[in-house]
Amino acid sequence: MAELTIGDKAPAIKAKNQHGEDVQLSDFKGKKVILYFYPKDNTPGCTTEACNFRDNYQSLLNDGFEVIGVSIDSEQSHQKFIAKHELPFTLLADEDQKIVEDYGVWVEKNMYGKKYMGTARTTFIIDENGIIQHIIKKVDNKNASQQIRDLLAK
């Protein structure tokens, strides 16, 4: 699949959330969506990013955004992650890696010389009509919400 760019229609999503309920991107039509992809529940960087969204969640809602996190972890893993860190937003379980593939964030990574496939931490800002407005590839975990605000203020 070709790399997604600003102005593209966001690929459709259908996945289970932390409660085992089917969630589709189309469920959020008419809302702006912060769709963020992260590698793994309960790892330091991913926890920092999720907690930043948690701490700024109400102001993001006030600005008309819905926050949705996606990783290849299971619903059960998401439940534990949410409970441990009191996360108020939806996490989608992409265990078959369809969403990460569709969004082009399933990539080859390299750690200590070992190559493996994993999720590239990436945030997509999607408008009310399902069009990608911004793509953040260099996510600042500690300031993820502010990074989005700064981008939208330009």
CA diameter of the chain: 45
Hey, which residues are catalytic here? Answer: 46
First vs last Cα of the chain: how many Å apart?
30
**What count of residues does the chain have?**
154
